[in-house]
Amino acid sequence: MRKKIIGSIFFLFTCLLYSSANDSLIHRLIRRLDQLQLHHESYFPQGLFPSYQQYSTKEHPLKNDVNIFFTGLTAVTLKQLRPYLQQEDQIICDSIFQRIKIVAAKFKNRKGRNTYNFWPTDTLKLFSNTGVLKFVAGQKAIADDLDDTVAMLIVLDEPDSSIRSLHAFMQGFTNKKGISTKTALKGYENFDAYSTWFGKKMTVELDACILSNILGMIQTYDLEWTKADSASLDFLTKMVKQKDYVDHPDIMSVYYKTTPIILYHLSRLMSIKPIAPLEQYKKQLIDDAIQIYSTSNNLLDKMILRTALLRWGVSLPGELVITENIQDDIEHNDFNFFIGNVACAMPRYIAFPLFNSGLTRYYFYCPAYNDVLVLEYLILQKRFDERKPAN
């Protein structure tokens, strides 16, 4: 009996030490995000989190890239985590949100429409750092996109009426009658799901992660489902049923491209509220996430897989080691959450052969977003542990 009591005390003491260390790292990450937004190269407008792009292969240098994408994603994640932070850290988050609201206008549609662009709209952006490729693309700026728009409307606390108005507008930008896209995997061409872009002249692309983000908005705001919403869900359900997120992740998600990132997006969508067609494959998704985790060597990939599993109610045994060296281990990690493709704005007869060649790809990197992914995992793990029944 005495041994049992001593064992229980030791276990509780260990848990307290781990919890205290995690709380300290959570606070450090919040302060680091604040620092990254406030103190950076003058190249970046105030309010943005700096991000960088790299052409095609790791041999090419990183170059500064001014975009709202990573800033929007970081803020959306912070807004979801804010209720579980200490008051001091909530205040820092509120300051971060306020700075983003000021800079957001630089990325809003040039004609005043309530949509947002990846790059600034106050000056024409011809594929920054892409050299000769921008001339092949016809010297055109990319169109506003659904991913950035959905994120920014959430970050800016737009009223429900604005969300409903956007949803209605989105219905005009789908894979019309299943004949517009030429980049989808065979068997997926006929889904009248949402395209990535608001531009009528842009290549129609069906991306599983972007569709997950869009349906996440539908679920969060309890919007009435449309034909395009249902088609987008059918696209995701078929992908899961056929396990194409494992076999063909680079085609199922042309801008995110990896199985861990697709699983991360699916888990986030499914955590908002259950979606029956996806719930029936939950065990399969969990098993695949565990299998991929066991073979991964990248800290951030393992991190987002653990986050996905926590959302599905599974906590892997053992702890993922996160050192205090945030900048080297997390921010400079060899991890690309998003991959751009200049071919999206090229004439179709040029674009289609190039999409999967790698020649027109750009790899994007954001230290702050890496930090917030770690922050998200730490908080979800902490909440999971706190809900566990005592033995």
What is the rounded average pLDDT of the residues 113-140? 66
Q: What is the dihedral of CA 27, 292, 194, 170, to 10 degrees?
A: -10
Can you give the pLDDT at residue 136?
Answer: 42
Task: Give the type of residue at 323.
Answer: T
pLDDT of residue 7: 44
Q: For 260-270, how does the pLDDT look when each residue is reduced to its tens digit (9 = 90+)? A: 999 999 999 99
| Residue pointed to by tokens 């790791």 | 58
Cα gap 374→324, rounded to integer Å: 12
> Domains (ranges, CATH) in the chain?
2-387 (1.50.10.20)
Q: How far apart are CA 95 and CA 74, in angstroms?
A: 14
Average pLDDT, the chain: 87
Residue type, 203: T
pLDDT computed for residue 322 by the predictor = 83
Distance CA 312, CA 324 (A): 28
239 pLDDT band (50/70/90 cuts)?
very high
| Phi/psi of residue 324, nearest 5 degrees | -80, -10
Whether pLDDT at 146 is above 90: yes
Which string of DSSP letters, residue by residue, matches 18-36?
HHHHHHHHHHHHHHHHHHH
Q: Does residue 139 register a pLDDT over 50?
A: no
How far, in Å, CA of 267 to CA of 279, rounded?
Answer: 10
Under 8 Å between Cβ of 374 and 32: no
Overall average pLDDT of the 75-99 stretch: 98
Is the pLDDT at 57 greater than 60? The verdict is yes
* Region 135-152 average pLDDT: 77
The lowest-confidence range among 64-68, 73-77, 136-140, 291-295 is 136-140
pLDDT, mean of residues 243-250: 96
Contact, 56 vs 358, CB < 8 A?
yes
Query: Where does the pLDDT of residue 132 fall: very low under 50, low under 70, confident under 90, or very high at 90 and above?
Result: very low
Residue among 102, 92, 42 at smallest CA distance from 68: 102
Of the two residues 54 and 134, the one the predictor is more confident about is 54
308 pLDDT more than 60: yes
User: Tens of pLDDT along 20-45?
Assistant: 678 999 999 999 999 999 999 999 99
The DSSP symbol for 293 reads H
Give the tens place of pLDDT for each residue, 166-208.
Answer: 999 999 999 987 667 777 888 998 999 999 999 877 888 899 9
In percent, the amount of the chain with pLDDT more than 70 equals: 83
Structure tokens at 97: 């949100």
Virtual torsion, Cα 277, 278, 283, 286, nearest 10 deg: 170
Residue 5 has pLDDT above 50, yes or no: no
